[in-house]
Amino acid sequence: MIADLDPSICNGCGVCVQICPANVFDMGAGTPVIARTDDCQTCFLCELYCETDAIYVDPDCEAPVAVDREQISPLRGKFRRESGWGEQAAEHPNLHWRMDEIFRRAREA
């Protein structure tokens, strides 16, 4: 579930408030705030849409988890980078089209 929105990284664009399918965020004073943690469906999509990598989602989908900002720091933005989202597209191509070949090799294994 959603675990962190670091206001010192956030640029206040508010896109997370707009795009969250579960309406987890509210616009606060200057930056969005996590308003409804329990509604989070752990889809990680807010991380894709957050240009500044201010958001961190913990993989536990059943209960909220407290995270240490220093500890998660190297993980910030990794999912967005690997997805090749936005400005990352040139360096991280979307290889999803190789799925067929991977399934075929599993069948042959």
Partner 1 sequence: MSRTVYSTDVLVIGGGLAGCWAAVAAVREGVRVILAEKGYVGTSGVTATAGPGHWWVPPNPPELRQKAIAERHARGMGLSDPQWMARIIDTTWKTLPTLSNHYHFYTENGVTHYRGLRGPEYMRAMRALAIEAGVTIMDQSPIHDLTLAADGSVAGAVGEHRQLQQAFEVKAGAVVMATGGCAFFSHLLGSGNNTGDGYRMAVAAGADLSGMEFTNYYTVAPVRSNMTRSMAYSFARYFDSVGRELDIKPGPEVNEALAKALMRGKVFCWLDRVPQDIQAIMPHVQPNFVAPFDRRGINPYRDRFEVTLRGEGTIRGIGGINVIDDACQTRVPGLFAAGDAATRELIAGAVSGGGAQNSAWALSSGQWAGRGAARRRQIRTSEVVSMRISGAPLLSVEEVVTAVRQEMEPPAKNMFRSDSQLRRSLQRMDAVWAAVRDRPVSSERWRDQALRATVATARWSLNAALTRTESRGMHRRTDFPALDPHQAHRLIVSGMDQVAVCPHFALATPLEAL
Q: Residue 72 CB, nearest distance to partner 1 (Å)?
A: 8
Closer residue to partner 1 (CB): 60 or 87: 60
Q: Residue 11 CB, nearest distance to partner 1 (Å)?
A: 20
The residues of the shown chain that bind partner 1, judged by CB under 8 A, are: 17-23, 39, 41-45, 48-49, 58-62, 72, 75, 78-79, 82-85, 92-100, 102-103, 105-107, 109
Q: Residue 34 CB, nearest distance to partner 1 (Å)?
A: 15
Q: Residue 50 CB, nearest distance to partner 1 (Å)?
A: 12
Closer residue to partner 1 (CB): 70 or 100: 100
State the SS3 of the chain. CEEEECCCCCCCCCHHHHHCCCCCEEECCCCEEECCHHHCCCCCHHHHHCCCCCEEECCCCCCCCCCCHHHHHHHCCHHHHHHCCHHHCCCCCCCHHHHHHHHHHHHHC
What's CA 98's distance to the chain center, in Å?
A: 23
Closer residue to partner 1 (CB): 51 or 79: 79
